[in-house]
Structure 1
Amino acid sequence: MGNDRADATCLNLAGLSAVPADALKDGANAAKYTCRQAAWMGAVREFAEHVLLQTEKAKTQMKQDWIDRNNF
């Protein structure tokens, strides 16, 4: 998670990156997820919840793919 030009390179390299709602344009353009919350107003928690949700979606999809393979 970052918010400005200095963070843009790292945000581009990260597999999943985020910025708070009030991030500078350079940081926001480099991130894959923009929080609805501003910095110091819950952005880190929102991003953590986003990561957990994505993890659960991936697990569900993997489980569904496994079920579908068994029903060939």
Structure 2
Amino acid sequence: MTDFIPEYGQVSADEFAEWVMLADDCGPEANLRFRDRHKHDIGIAFIRYMGAEIVPAQDLRYDAEI
């Protein structure tokens, strides 16, 4: 999953949800009803957890050296 997160810039809940689906090998060719429902749920969870629909990419990156 971390391979999808850029070092800099902004990340939206929709982008993050798409990356989660791709990381779970659930690409655009997957069952649309399943994929759309879970992307929506992931986006909602992102907003709840991060406190905004768009956040700095750095907020999503984990630095093991900190």
With the length of structure 2 as denominator, give the TM-score of the two structures.
0.37
Mark the structure with the bigger radius of gyration: 1
Q: Which has the higher contact order (CA 8 A, sep 6+)?
A: 2
TM-score normalised according to structure 1 size:
0.34
